[in-house]
Amino acid sequence: MNYLHHVLTHLRKDLRLEWRSRDAINGMLFFSLLVVVIFSMAFDPTAAASRQIAGGILWVALLFASITALNQGWAREVRNHVLDAQRLTPAPASALFLGKALANLIFVSAVELVLAPLFVIFYNLHALGEGWMMFLVLPLGTWALVCNGTFFAALGLRTRNRELMLPLVLFPISLPALLAMIQATTAILTGESDPELWVKMLFGYNVVFTTVCLLLFDIVLNAE
Amino acid sequence: MPQRTHTISGPDAPAEQSSSTGQILGLLWLAATLVVLVIGFRQAIFIAPTEATMGNMQRIFYYHVPLAILGLIFPYVNFGASVAYLILRRRNPLSALTADALALASAEVTVVYVSLCLATGMLWGRAAWGIWWAWDARLTSLLLLWLLYVAYLLTRRLSLSGETSTVGAVISVFAAIDVPIVYMSIQWWRTQHPAPVLTGEGSLDHSMYVAFGWNVLGWAMWGIFLIAFRFALERRRQLQQQELALSVLEASLEPIQPRFTQEPPNAL
């Protein structure tokens, strides 16, 4: 109960900060919109082809967009030595991580809520498979990106070139998750195969990496 | 002053001795490795029978498969050393540094072996399949393994000097957990590679096992030699850094020193 209280406090703080500045969401939204437009021009797809590639483009756009927000999330903590204060608090370090990861999940989900209808319009999509499964794939996939992303962005604070380091590590580690998200989304859109295996895999990936992140975050926060 | 130089050179003498025995052992190991590699080369190129359908092209198998096997074993050394580092980090920082040197050495050799495995695989693929690369399960998962360890090395390079080991160890744990997930997910994705000849439905003629065995042994010895060599180099760099830090610390104490040495004559 006490742990939950700490997590909620961190979450509330991050949401309030974002509500006042709206840096992360605005940046992500416009960035992913640009990616959608650029891909649409690059491939100029027909309706059938767009069903095949839309899943990939959606997730690549979200991946790139979330990178921009994830770095900002920790940069806020570094200003005015807030992170040093966080290290001094008796609250568990993983609560800080969980609060920030949940906040990032909310930001990226908000972007998805705007982006998904735009996708349907720009690519003339209608799902041939079970469309409701997207409500399972989207949060699971977003959490896979955001959980590891928040962790590695914190790790990036320990490097000279923060902006470069995050994608360098996040992309290879999340490739299996990315594969699962894209395969599941394509399966839903084309209706040619069953997305169940990929949803299960995504779930397993999330359980494993959330556990590892929570266990190792203390080391990252107090590394020296 | 002469006293201090004495205490520094004191423990150096046995260290020098052990490093010279280490050098002799290393040279002996290198000589044995070269002998085994020569035997392996002769077995693979001249003695092993020519394969029925692929002909001489199949002989690259004696290099490709040992490199693949070893490229999959060395990451475990890296993972073990990284976990040891994370455990020892607070309790025993000096032996933690040793573990970190081992982690770095094994990661570098992993990248070298996996790169060579990918390169020999491409040469074979060009001749056998007519294409350099196919996005098949084994190729893709090995490529991802390569990407993970290159990312590991790059991050170490980019990290702040005091935090390299911790950052590296954390990423190594992530990579080690990721590898089996990558392997399974890509298995589900697709497969085109020849069936595993040692454990799967494929089969290897008995006479080919001799050449294969010599090459596995030779490349394992070569890999161990490279890791040990790189480990010794990294240890030397660490010790040099420690000595430098110590001398800086001593220099900062210097102004206080003369006052103590001057006072006794005044009192007398």
Q: Three-state secondary structure along A116-141?
A: HHHHHHHCCCCCCCCHHHHHHHHHHH
- Residue with the bigger pLDDT between A126 and B34: it is B34
Residues 6+ apart with CB under 8 A from B20: none
Whether residue B205 contacts residue B52, with contact meaning beta carbons closer than 8 Å, is answered with no
Whether residue A219 contacts residue A84, with contact meaning beta carbons closer than 8 Å, is answered with no
CB contact under 8 A, A197 and B148: no
The DSSP output letter for A192 is S
* Chain A contact probe: residue of B135, B155, B157, B172 with most A CBs at under 10 A: B155
Give which of A102, A180, A170, A104 is closest to A136, Cα–Cα.
Answer: A180
CB neighbours of residue B86 within 10 Å: 20
C-alpha–C-alpha distance, residues B110 and B234, integer Å: 16
| Chain A, nearest residue to B182 by Cα | A176
When pLDDT is averaged across residues A132-156 and rounded to a whole number, the result is 91
pLDDT at B12: 47
C-alpha–C-alpha distance, residues B168 and B242, integer Å: 20
pLDDT tens-digit readout, A48-68: 777 888 888 889 889 988 988
Q: How many domains does chain A have?
A: 1
The verdict on A87 touching B (C-beta cutoff 8 Å) is no
Angle at A139 between CA A135 and CA A144, to 5 degrees: 145
Residues in a beta bridge with B51: B55
When pLDDT is averaged across residues A125-139 and rounded to a whole number, the result is 82
pLDDT at A194: 80
The DSSP output letter for B195 is P
CB contact under 8 A, A168 and B166: no
DSSP helix/strand/coil, A159: strand
When pLDDT is averaged across residues B212-232 and rounded to a whole number, the result is 92
Whether this model's ipTM surpasses 0.95 comes out as no
B37-60 burial by CB neighbour count: b if 16+ within 10 A, else e? bebbbebbeeebeeeeeeeeebbb
As a whole-number percent, the residues of chain B with pLDDT over 90 amount to 36
CB neighbours of residue A82 within 10 Å: 13
- pLDDT value at B146 more than 70: yes
Q: Which of B144, B158, B177 sits opposite A159 (nearest CB)?
A: B158
- Residue with the bigger pLDDT between B168 and B8: it is B168
Number of H helices, E strands in chain B: 8, 0
CB contact under 8 A, A175 and B182: yes
When pLDDT is averaged across residues B149-166 and rounded to a whole number, the result is 87
Q: Closest Cα of chain B to A211: distance in Å?
A: 11
Most confident of A130-134, B15-19, B110-114, B135-139: B110-114
Whether residue A190 contacts residue A129, with contact meaning beta carbons closer than 8 Å, is answered with yes
pLDDT tens-digit readout, B21-61: 888 998 999 999 999 999 988 888 888 777 767 777 778 88
Average pLDDT of chain A?
Answer: 87
Confidence of residue B195 (pLDDT cuts 50, 70, 90): low
Confidence of residue B3 (pLDDT cuts 50, 70, 90): very low
Q: Closest Cα of chain B to A101: distance in Å?
A: 17
Q: Closest Cα of chain B to A20: distance in Å?
A: 32
Structure tokens at B153: 């090395």
- pLDDT value at B83 more than 50: yes
Confidence of residue A46 (pLDDT cuts 50, 70, 90): confident
Least confident of A3-12, A144-153, A171-180, B161-170: B161-170
Q: Which of A169, A179, A212 sits opposite B173 (nearest CB)?
A: A212
- Residue with the bigger pLDDT between B46 and B228: it is B228
Q: Closest Cα of chain B to A144: distance in Å?
A: 13
- pLDDT value at A144 more than 70: yes
pLDDT at B59: 83
Indicate the burial class of B13 (C-beta count within 10 angstroms; 0-12, 13-18, 19 or more).
exposed
Q: At which residue do the structure tokens 């690369």 appear? A: B133
pLDDT tens-digit readout, A71-103: 888 888 888 888 888 888 888 889 999 999 999
Whether residue B178 contacts residue B31, with contact meaning beta carbons closer than 8 Å, is answered with no
Q: Give the residue numbers spanning the domain of A20.
A: 2-221
pLDDT at A89: 86
| CA dihedral of A133, A136, A139, A140, whole degrees rounded to 10 | -120
pLDDT at A72: 83
pLDDT at B111: 95
The verdict on A180 touching B (C-beta cutoff 8 Å) is yes
pLDDT at B9: 42
C-alpha–C-alpha distance, residues A23 and A89, integer Å: 27
- pLDDT value at B234 more than 50: yes
Confidence of residue B149 (pLDDT cuts 50, 70, 90): very high
